[in-house]
Structures are given as structure tokens and as C-alpha cells.
Structure 1
Amino acid sequence: MMELDPTETFRQEASDLLDSLEAALLDLGQTPQDSDLIDAAFRALHTIKGSGAMFGFDRVAAFTHDFETAFDLIRKGKISAEPDIITVSLAAKDYIRALIDDPDSTDPIIGEAIVEELQALIATGATGGTASPTCAALNEASAVTAADGAGWLIEIAFEPDILRNGTNPLVLLDDLRALGSCRVVAYLDAVPELGALDPETCMIAWTVELQGSCSREDIEDVFMFVRDEMKLGIAPLSLAGPVDAKRPTTVESEAVAVVVTATAAPVNELQPALTERATGERSESIRRSEDKTSTVRVQAERLDELMDRVGELVIAQARLSQLAHSGTDLAIKSIAEEIERLASGLRDSTMGVRMVPMGSLFGRFRRLVHDLSRDLGKPVDFVTVGEDTELDKTMIERLADPLVHLIRNAIDHGIEAPEARAGTTKSTTGRIELAARYVGAQVLVTVQDDGAGLDAARIRAKAEEQGLVAAGAPLSEHEIHQFLFHPGFSTARTISALSGRGVGMDVVKRTIEAMRGTIDLATVPGYGSTVTLRLPLTLAIIEGLLIRVGEGRYIIPLSAVEECVELTAADEARSRGRSFLSIRGDLVPFLRLRDLFEAEGEADPHQKVIITTMGDMRIGLVVDQIIGSHQTVIKSLSKLHADVTMFSGATILGDGSAALILDVAQLVSLGQVRAENSPASEAA
């Protein structure tokens, strides 16, 4: 079994902490006085610093310490989290990530400049002037009032499982030493003999005599992240009795771990906790530990491999079911049905493990909007809806780049400058909404802005200029908007770092179509635009409808099927030359798949029409036979078939033969084109 690299574990944990830090900083930009957000940011910094020191990332620990020292003034309410401070703090967060990902190629001069700028901003805010950006000035600004008396007596008793939770008490003792001169006494009464010793269980308690100019709050801050995992007693040294040194062991601690949480308790409440440790009564701690929801970090490659194995199992199960139903052995049929039930449950469970909330993706774009808003001078409110909507992890990964392009376009091209919006009824602050929701077996992701909308005349003029359409040719608004997805097409008047080169929307369309999705574009001039992405829940296994056309068998994704009807002789007579059906008063165009696939032989006398939907469009697909539902394991087509647009993949049937999966979006588009070119008005 492969052992997990400890440094890789740190990188994964640090990545989550940095994401939390970025989210807290961005939220602070909106609500600078939110103490919970300030504590969350400080907690993330403190944990990264301790973890970095433990895993040998000394540059990370040193830089984060300077960052934390500066940010501590915000936490203590001496200055507020102004926009300039948030901007520099975000740059500091990026530098920490660079130090963790690639420390050798990270220039230390950049880190020094970031710290100096942050310290200068904070020192200026703390003093109200232009203080020198030095640590000395910073420390002076954050000096605390000395406590009454000669110092403090601190008694510490941790929960037995605190080491398992990632906390090293020696780090906390070192943090106390940073506040002043300390005499640390360890109590070893509860430590068992060597044979019964558990190295992951904390059985030591401490008493600390602290001499220094610090307040009770400073001491409590040291333990602020271990509140639920310890007993803490603090009393002025002049009022406390002498330390019991019957069995003292002075501890020399080293900074080697991370910090977690603390609850304050009077000194006299600590003795029962020490006695409990001496008798080894840990049942309550164990019970609480069992009640906690645990998670396991799994490599994405292992999930992909598991999904492949499940796919092969589904194919094998389909073959077994077909063999069982072709025979007369009832026992074999019973076993086949049981395996089918188990395979179906395993498939659903595996796909559930792969499902990831959209919030994990949406959170990435807050920083993008923040930076673009600042760079372009366009204040923008970024709103997300439907963060709990889940999508396959592979889909999430592929969706990131298209959404980056769409959000950049919305801010750069859609949202007007504040002075332009000031002359309208709109707020000077633009608005972009990123939303996700379920629609059947699909997920709809929308990017909506309240900008100026699309200028159809300008898009058409640019298309005519590039020779994409003849001047004066009749085009619908939908057809004009489709030019935006043409490679190299751009309406930007000048080339900038964000736009003007015509690279972006064509990539978005290709990526979405490769995910078996579609992209729709709607706009209201003067009021904004909405881009809608329609995506399947997964790219791995889907429920399909198995059909026959001629001698060939095909799969239609069941999520796209609305209903099935029979193509009667009367329908045939009414539809000749027009290819329309009347479905409850609505005209629905249909395609004869026999003609489309050039199938040989005579058509079945009782053909069926499968009514499919894609967005607001419907189309009927005429087939010879509907065989039934089928668990479809999607296999990608080879590069040789890249130009075959009517099929999105293939699958293996129970008898070992292959069946192509129809791309309903492409068929709907084809049907729409044929409908527009047919005399539909006569049929009405």
C-alpha cells in the first residue's frame, strides 16, 4: 500500500485553508467590521503558520507570521479592514500559495515588498499618520497594557485526543513564551507505564508562571483555537498560590504543530480534570469522538478508476441479464436480478461520491470578479445562487474555464462604466449573478448581468466585415448572436489584456458541447444578458432509451425524452412534405432517422415517434422500434470520428455489440433548421 507523502498532505490542507482565507478576506471587503470573518481569517493564518513549521516549510511559516502579526491589529479592533488592506492581504495569500506550491522559484523580494506594504497600510491606519513600515512601529501600535500584579499563573489541561486532532501543546507553550518569561511545570501523574503508553493520547497537564506585560486577553488568544478541547485557568500571579512542584518537570518546548480551539475555566476547576486523567477515564472523550462526522480525502484518480470498474460491472451485468432471460433456469434469473439490483445500487453510490457541490466552483470566481472590478474601475456585486446543486466532479473541472470566459466578458463587455450607468435608472454598481439549478436530469448554469446587453447591429456589421454573412442577408436575432461563438470573432474596438482577440466564446461553446451540453444566449438591450449552460449530471453512466432504426441500435439519453407516441397513418398523410406532428395542439417538427442514417430495407409498419426536448425546443425522432431502458456506460468516440456531430459517444450492449449514443442537441438544432426552411405556416 502506497504511503501518503506528509508534505503533500500539508499542501492539500493548506489549499483548503487558503481558500477559506480568500473567502473571508473577500467577505471582509463587504463587511469590514464582521468579527467572525476577522477571526476566521486569523485562524486560517495561524493554522498555516503552525503547519508550515511542522512540515518544514520554514519560509511559509516566517512569511505567514509577519502577515499574521500585521493582521492581528485588525482582529484587536485597532484599525478596520479597508479595501487597500484587503487587496494587499489577497496578494499575501497568493504569495503563501506560491511558497507552498513552488518554493524554489518564489522570489523572497516579492514577499518582503508585500509585508512592507501591508505593514505601512496598517501602521498608517493605527497611528493616523505616515508611520514607518517597520515591525517595531507595528509592535508599538499593538502594545498592550501590562496586567496588574507581577504576572499570571496559567493552568492547562487538554483533552486526551487533542494530539489526534492535529494540535501540539508544545506550540502553545512556545506562544506563551513569546508573551514573556515563563516557568513551565509539567504534571506526569496520569502518564502510564511504557507498556500501556499510547503516544497519540495527551496525558500531561501544565502550570505556567508567566512574567511579562500582557493582558488576560493576550493569554486567551493563544488558546483561542482550542476552546472545546481543554480546560484553562488564568489568575494574577500575585493572587494565586505557589505552584505545586512536588513532581515538577520543566518542559522545553519546540514549535512543531498547528493550533485548533480554547475555553476559559477558573483555576480551581482544573484539579478534577487532572484527577480524571490520572485515573484514565476517557469514555466521554471517546464517545464525542465517535459522534463526529469523519471524512476521508481520496485521490481523484482513484475515483475515476472506481467509476471505470463500475462501468465494466454494469456492462457485464447487462450481458448476464440477457443470457438469463434467454433461458429457462429460474435460479439463474433470480441471481441475475439480484446482481442487477446490487450493480444499480453500487452505480448510484459511486456516482454520488463523485458529485460535488457547485459552491466549490462558484467560490473561485469571487476573486476574479474582485480583481476585474478593481482593474476596470467598475464596481460589481457578485451574487451566487444554488451553491448546493451538485454536479459530477469531472464536469466541475471542465466547467471552470468556460465560466471564467463568461464572467470576464460580462464585466468587460456587459457592465457599463459607473458614469454611463449614472445616466440611467440603474445603480452605479453592476450586478452579476451566477446560478445553478436542476431541471430534470440536467443542471442549468446561468451567468446573468445587468449591463447594456448585446448590440445586434454591431455584431452583424462585424460579421459582414469578416465575410461571415452577405450584406443585407435576412437573419434572425438568434442567428446574429451565434456569430459570437465563431473563432476569431470579437466586437471589441481595441485589443486589451481582457478582450479584442476573438478568443473565448468559441472555446466556451466547444467545451460545453464536448460535455454533451448546450449554450443559449438571451439579451434585452439596455438591461443585460443571460448565458445559459445546459449540462448533464455526469459524463460516466446515464439512463438511456434503447431504440432500433433499420438493423442498427442506438441510445437516446432518457433525460431528453419527453414522451413516445405512435406515428399513425393519419399523421403520415397530414405530414407529407412538411414533417410536423400535432402534439396536443402544438406543432412539433420530426426527423425520420431512417432517412438521416440511410437505413436499408423497409420501415416497420408501426413506427414510433420519440418526442425529445432540449431547453425550450422540441423535436420528434421517428424510429422503427423502442426496445426499452438501458443503463448506458458512455465510451468516447475516437478522434477519427470528431466530425460526426450527431453522436456523442458509444456504449456496449448486453450481447457485446456497440450502440451509438445520439446527440439530442445536434438533432434538435438540425430539426429546427429544417422547420425554419419548411412551410410551417401552411401546416398550421
Structure 2
Amino acid sequence: MLDLDPAETFRQEAAELLETLETVLLDLGQRPGEGHLVDAAFRALHTIKGSGAMFGFDRVAAFTHDFETAFDLIRKGRIEANHDIVTVALSAKDYLRILIEDPDSTDEIIGEAIVAALHRLVSGLEAAPAEAHAPTTSDQAPGWLIDIAFRPDILRNGTNPLNLLDELRDLGPCTVTARLDDVPDLTALDPEGCFIAWRVALRASCPREAIEDVFIFVRDEMALAITPFDAGASRETLAPSGGLVDADAETAPASAAPNPSVAGTDRPVEKTEYNRRADDKSSTVRVQAERLDELMDRVGELVIAQARLSQLAHASDDLAIKAIAEEIERLASGLRDTTMGVRMVPMGSLFGRFRRLVHDLARDLAKPVEFVTVGEDTEMDKTMIERLADPLVHLIRNAIDHGIESPERRAIVGKPAIGRIELSARYVGAQVLVSVQDDGGGLDTARIRAKAEEQGLLQAGAGLSDNEVHQFLFHPGFSTARAVSALSGRGVGMDVVKRTIEGMRGSIDLATLPGRGSSVTLRLPLTLAIIDGLLIRVGGGRYIIPLSAVEECIELTAADENRSRGRSFLSVRGELVPFLRLREQFGAEGEPDPHPKVIIISTGEVRVGLVADQIIGSHQTVIKSLSKLHADVTMFSGATILGDGSAALILDVAQLVGLGQMQAEIDKMTEAA
């Protein structure tokens, strides 16, 4: 049996709570008047404080106490949330993270300074209790009708509903009616489930917030409706038809009552919705990432073994073996898709990390920025998500530092004072396009060209297009910053982005409009584990082309060869497409096939043809990384094992497209000469 370290369990749960707290605080900074955000922050702080004390993290509990108190004052209306409190709370969140992960590395002076800053803010904002929260008729009444329905699994989470009813009784005299409409038959009853709902008639002049506070830690696991009633209402009016039960009662009566209704509507309290959730079995399980990687490796080996079986079955005349091979192929394909689905993670889990980055950079650079995310539900392999984080950090920093102008400059050119950065993701075929777009001044092409000439990367007066000039931004050590700062000027960043994206078998598109802004689009495959590929033969070797990059396959006829007249161009429906002869690129030996085939591949708007001897067919490709000895072999992104046990190299589409463009430019220059 696996022994779990309680402290490590707390660290994992605290990391999730801190991530939630950061998101809530950033939302609160933009919408300080929304009470549910304050409640969410208070719940996160209270849970961290209580769990920290339980697991021996006393410094965490002591530090969190002051911020929990501050947000409790905000909840009660004693003080108002503002930008300064949110800023200090974000600093406290960062300190808490270090205090939990590595308490020995933290300096208590920093924590004391953060708490002192909070005390100064609170003491300056706190008003007298009578002024700060004078109850109105809307939030305080002579009595309340309270309808309560918990999720069936509330007992498994350690919550005792009777204790919550006792807390309501502490607010004043009350009667409780149990509702048994949703209790299933005895044969179908889950003894660990909670199927009883309650209606409470509370005769106390207390604010609505006092009632809500009783359920603050279970609000996400229940339906709650609170309705005021007149002071002159009789006992019979207040009592539901099922009879009255005192709050001290240990058990509920067997009599059932009609379903309670949410205040102001005819819709019943959503107890039935919770039952549907339980029936859907839509629960989640925390699994270590290493186990998912191991599962993916096992599935990859299964796919290779299945390809071997299919090849043997194809060479056999035994129909039973062929049938079994087809069934195994179907099951392996389904298992592959299911396993890849388990590894898929929504982009929102990545996008949320950058809100704090934008918040801090906008503050440090004095550039107000609106950060917008689109396509958070787009999913990618978790490995891709992890590797994509650093490139996006560089792109967002550049967008704020270099792209977005200062408020003064934006006012001169007639732009809103607040800049805008949009981070989006969307599917395009078997690829995911991740874009970082800003509404800044755009790229200064003349300055980039001048800097490239200054560094000897470009000859003066060379005839390059704007797009070709912009590619110098990805050159190592290249920077157009006039001075070195904490954020830029060292020429490190964009070259790292390019290397990382190309290492993920992706490509980068760069677009800009002077004065309007820039957009950087990353084209990425969905996964780095298993892909659908097109198996081809060049000479005696076999190679894989990612099927997502293949547009069409055509035959290279003798007429096409003669028409090209030595140039590497092919006319495809009136459009000239450059092509590469893979036999020449790979130095293949032997006689070429008399009927070569051309595979048209593309990245973005660029199309290139690859001439091969034979197209064998589609192939489920398990990607294996090349060794460090092959790091300088740029035309291949990996390898795979075929059904007969031999290896096939996977072609790097981006590199081949670039090589095809280069060959086309050479042909044009040769023809012009």
C-alpha cells in the first residue's frame, strides 16, 4: 500500500488553492464590488489556514490569519476592496507559496513587512461598525424561510448537515422540516448518501449574510434559497405542510413535504440536479503525471506490436488470424485515442498563469493593459502545454514592453489609454494555433533592418521583403532595444521561442500592421506522442510525413519534368509549387522509380512538393526522439518503429518547407542570371 505523506498532500492542495486565490484576486482587482469574489478569497484563505495548522505549518497559519481577518471585514462591509489591498494580497500569496514549498528559504522580515502594509491599509479604511454596515430591509428581516438541499456525496466530504442546522439555531429560534421527496427506495438507497432536504423557519432579525456565512464552505455542494417573511406571519403560515421539527431533533420525521422552491421562481431547489450529477459518475481522480507518461509509452509499444501483427496477418491466408488482427487494430486505435484524451488539458489551465504576469508588467512599466483570452477550452497534450509556457512568457513580455505604447503616446495617435493583448487558441485541422496579438505600434521594419546591417547579418541595400526582415528577430543575440533593462535589451528571448517551437514540430507566423499592432501565431501539433503519418519510400529507405501537413498526392509525369526545364517548380491547378527531390536530399542509391509521386505539404500559406519513389500508405506513428548524436540533423524530427521491426525517420515539415523556399529562390536567381 502506498504511504502518502500528509505534508505533501497539503502542499498539493495548497498549490491549487493558491492558484484559485490568485485568479480570484486578479478578478477582484478589476471588479472590486462583486461579493462572491470576496467570499471565494476568504474561503481559500480560511482553508489554507486551517489545513496548515492541522499539518504542522504553523507559520503558514499565523501569516494567513491576518489576511483572512481583512477579507472577513470586506465581507461584512466594514471596509471596501480596492487595488491596494489586492496588490498586497497578491504579494502575500507569493510569500505563502514559498512559505509552504520551502519554509527555510523565507525571510520573516518580508512576511512582517507584508502584514504591516496590510494593517496600514485596513486601519485607514475601516469605519465604525454602525456606519459601515447599517442593515437595510433588503438584507435584514424579522424572519427567514431557508430551503436547503445538499449534494448526495456531502457526507463523504466530511460535512454533517445537522451541525449546520445547529448553527442556524444559534442565530435565533427556528423550526426545521425535513423533506423526503428525493429519498430512493430502500433497495436503491446508498447509506453513505444524503437525500434529505430541509426547510427552516428562522424567527430572528438577522442579516441575510449571517445565514449565508453558515454555509460558506459548502455553497458549491448545495442549493440554498433564503426568503424573508413578515413579522406578523403565523406559525401555520411559516410551517410547511410536512409538519414541524425542532432544530434539536436528532432524526427527521418520515412524513414527506412538497419540494421547496427557489425564492421568486417556481423552479424547485436543484436537488434533482445533484442526483443527476451523482448518476453521471462525473467525478475526477488525481493521477501522477509520470503514470500518464508510462501509460502512453505502453500504448505506443502496443501500437508497434499491433502493426507487426497486421503485417503478419496480411502475409497469411488464415482468415481467423486476419479477423483477430483487425479486431486488435480496432481496439488499439480506440485505446490510443482514449489515452491521448486523458492526456489532453484545456488551454485555460495555461492561459490563467499569464494574468498575473500581465498585471505585474503593466504595473512596472506604467502601461495599463487589458488582457483577453479566447479559446480556453481548446485542448492540447499536457506535455505540449508544459513546453509552451516559456515561449508564451517571452511573447507576452515583448508585446507589453516593445509593442504597447505608453499612455501618452497612445493619446497622441488617438488610441485608448488602455492597451490590449489577446491570447487565443483554436483548432485548424490537426493543429492548434496559439496567437499573441497586441494593439501597439507594430514592428519597426526600418529599425530591424538597420540593426541587422549593424550586426553584419544583412548587406546594406539587400532586397528583402518586410517578412524576411522580420525573421531577424529570431536570430540569437538580436535586439532592437536602445537600452538594457530588467525586461529587454539583451537579445535573449525570441531565438529561444523559435528553437522551442521548432522542437515541438511547430512553426511561427509573424504579422504586423504599422501603428495597428502585431500578431505572433504558433502552429503546433496536438500531441508529441502518437500521430497519424504517411509512409513513403525513397530509394531503399522508408520515411514518415505527418499526415496533418499533407494536402494532396499527385504523380510527377514525364511531361511535368520536361515542362519544369530543370527548375524545381510544378504547376498544380495553375499555381506554381516548388518541389524537392528527396532522393537528392537523402543521397539515395539505386535506380529511381519510373513513376515518382509528389506529396504536397504545407505550413500556413506556404506549399512545397516532396518527390518520393512510392507512397506506401497511412501509418499510426509512435514518435521516438533522436539521440544527441543526431541533434544537427535538421530534416528529421524523430523516428518510429515499423511493423517489421525496422526504423523509419519522421520528416520535419517546417525544415523541408524552408528548404523548398530556399531552392525556389535559387532557381529564380539562376534563371534571372
What TM-score comes out, normalization by structure 2 length?
Answer: 0.84
Please state how far the C-alpha of 1:215 moved relative to its aligned partner: 6.1
Q: 1:418 to 1:45 in 2, by over 3 A?
A: same
CA distance in 2, matches of 1:623, 1:157: 67
Structure 2 equivalent of residue 564 of structure 1: 553
CA distance in 1, matches of 2:165, 2:49: 15
* 2:374 matches 1:382: no
CA distance in 2, matches of 1:445, 1:160: 41
CA distance in 1, matches of 2:556, 2:227: 85
Please state how far the C-alpha of 1:268 moved relative to its aligned partner: 7.8
Please state how far the C-alpha of 1:448 moved relative to its aligned partner: 0.7
* 2:666 matches 1:677: yes
Structure 1 equivalent of residue 45 of structure 2: 45
* 2:614 matches 1:625: yes
Residue of structure 2 aligned with 1:223, choices 215, 220, 226: 215
Q: How do 1:174-189 and structure 2 match up within 5 A?
A: none
Q: How do 1:228-239 and structure 2 match up within 5 A?
A: none
CA contact (8 A) 1:233 1:265 kept: no
SS of the equivalent of 1:520 reads strand
CA distance in 2, matches of 1:572, 1:360: 51
CA distance in 2, matches of 1:375, 1:14: 28
Cα-to-partner distance string for 1:608-638 (whole Å, 9 max, x where unaligned): 1000011110000000000000000000000
Amino acid at match of 1:221: D
Q: 1:340 to 1:230 in 2, by over 3 A?
A: closer
Structure 2 equivalent of residue 299 of structure 1: 288
User: Gaps (5+ residues) in structure 1?
Assistant: 128-136, 182-197, 204-211, 240-263
CA distance in 2, matches of 1:458, 1:352: 46
SS of the equivalent of 2:577 reads strand
Please state how far the C-alpha of 1:166 moved relative to its aligned partner: 4.4
Structure 2 equivalent of residue 517 of structure 1: 506
CA distance in 2, matches of 1:575, 1:431: 49
Structure 1 equivalent of residue 461 of structure 2: 472
Q: 1:645 to 1:232 in 2, by over 3 A?
A: closer
Structure 2 equivalent of residue 393 of structure 1: 382
Q: 1:265 to 1:367 in 2, by over 3 A?
A: farther
Amino acid at match of 2:331: L
Amino acid at match of 2:215: F
CA contact (8 A) 1:414 1:451 kept: yes
Amino acid at match of 2:217: F
Cα-to-partner distance string for 1:135-175 (whole Å, 9 max, x where unaligned): xx9x9997899x99xxx9x9999988544224478997999
Residue of structure 2 aligned with 1:350, choices 327, 339, 342: 339
SS of the equivalent of 1:368 reads helix
CA distance in 1, matches of 2:117, 2:244: 46
Amino acid at match of 1:97: R
Cα-to-partner distance string for 1:422-463 (whole Å, 9 max, x where unaligned): 101211111111111111110011111111111122112222
CA contact (8 A) 1:432 1:448 kept: yes
Structure 1 equivalent of residue 632 of structure 2: 643
CA contact (8 A) 1:156 1:231 kept: yes
Please state how far the C-alpha of 1:598 moved relative to its aligned partner: 1.1
Residue of structure 2 aligned with 1:428, choices 406, 409, 417: 417
CA distance in 1, matches of 2:60, 2:446: 54
Moved more, 416-425 or 455-464: 455-464
Residue of structure 2 aligned with 1:312, choices 279, 289, 301: 301
How many residues were matched structurally? Answer: 635
Please state how far the C-alpha of 1:17 moved relative to its aligned partner: 2.0
Structure 1 equivalent of residue 316 of structure 2: 327
Amino acid at match of 2:216: M
CA contact (8 A) 2:77 2:133 kept: no
Q: 1:557 to 1:160 in 2, by over 3 A?
A: closer
Please state how far the C-alpha of 1:216 moved relative to its aligned partner: 6.7
CA distance in 2, matches of 1:272, 1:332: 70
Please state how far the C-alpha of 1:115 moved relative to its aligned partner: 2.3
Calculate the aligned-residue CA RMSD, in Å: 4.2
CA distance in 2, matches of 1:265, 1:144: 32
Please state how far the C-alpha of 1:278 moved relative to its aligned partner: 8.6
User: Gaps (5+ residues) in structure 2?
Assistant: 173-189, 196-203, 233-238, 257-270
SS of the equivalent of 1:22 reads helix
Amino acid at match of 1:59: R
Amino acid at match of 1:224: I
Q: 1:140 to 1:72 in 2, by over 3 A?
A: farther
Q: 1:405 to 1:90 in 2, by over 3 A?
A: same
Structure 1 equivalent of residue 120 of structure 2: 120
Structure 2 equivalent of residue 73 of structure 1: 73
What TM-score comes out, normalization by structure 1 length?
Answer: 0.83
Q: How do 1:391-470 and structure 2 match up within 5 A?
A: 391-470=380-459
Q: 1:272 to 1:223 in 2, by over 3 A?
A: closer
Structure 2 equivalent of residue 252 of structure 1: none
Please state how far the C-alpha of 1:679 moved relative to its aligned partner: 2.7
Identity %: 75
* 2:156 matches 1:164: yes
CA distance in 2, matches of 1:199, 1:56: 34
Moved more, 49-58 or 543-552: 49-58
CA contact (8 A) 1:520 1:533 kept: yes
Please state how far the C-alpha of 1:596 moved relative to its aligned partner: 0.8
CA distance in 2, matches of 1:108, 1:75: 28
Structure 2 equivalent of residue 576 of structure 1: 565
Q: 1:617 to 1:165 in 2, by over 3 A?
A: same
CA distance in 2, matches of 1:585, 1:680: 22
CA contact (8 A) 2:76 2:133 kept: no
CA distance in 1, matches of 2:244, 2:620: 63
Q: 1:288 to 1:644 in 2, by over 3 A?
A: closer
Q: 1:642 to 1:367 in 2, by over 3 A?
A: same
Structure 2 equivalent of residue 248 of structure 1: none
Structure 2 equivalent of residue 131 of structure 1: none
Residue of structure 2 aligned with 1:534, choices 523, 547, 559: 523
Structure 2 equivalent of residue 195 of structure 1: none
Structure 2 equivalent of residue 367 of structure 1: 356
Amino acid at match of 2:453: E
CA contact (8 A) 2:166 2:247 kept: no
Please state how far the C-alpha of 1:61 moved relative to its aligned partner: 2.6
Moved more, 631-640 or 19-28: 19-28
Amino acid at match of 2:422: E
CA distance in 2, matches of 1:53, 1:144: 35
CA distance in 2, matches of 1:502, 1:67: 41
Please state how far the C-alpha of 1:421 moved relative to its aligned partner: 0.7
CA distance in 1, matches of 2:192, 2:66: 31
CA distance in 2, matches of 1:28, 1:142: 20
Structure 2 equivalent of residue 260 of structure 1: none
Residue of structure 1 aligned with 2:496, choices 498, 507, 519: 507
Cα-to-partner distance string for 1:160-198 (whole Å, 9 max, x where unaligned): 854422447899799999x999xxxxxxxxxxxxxxxx9
Structure 1 equivalent of residue 178 of structure 2: none
Amino acid at match of 2:474: F
CA contact (8 A) 2:347 2:380 kept: yes
Q: 1:627 to 1:536 in 2, by over 3 A?
A: same
Cα-to-partner distance string for 1:38-97 (whole Å, 9 max, x where unaligned): 222222223323333333333323322211210123223343322111111111222222
Please state how far the C-alpha of 1:486 moved relative to its aligned partner: 1.3
CA distance in 2, matches of 1:520, 1:356: 24
CA distance in 2, matches of 1:155, 1:644: 69
Moved more, 23-32 or 167-176: 167-176
CA distance in 2, matches of 1:155, 1:654: 64
Q: 1:38 to 1:603 in 2, by over 3 A?
A: same
Amino acid at match of 1:639: K
Structure 1 equivalent of residue 86 of structure 2: 86
CA contact (8 A) 1:523 1:530 kept: yes
* 2:340 matches 1:340: no
Structure 1 equivalent of residue 96 of structure 2: 96
Structure 2 equivalent of residue 242 of structure 1: none
SS of the equivalent of 2:667 reads coil
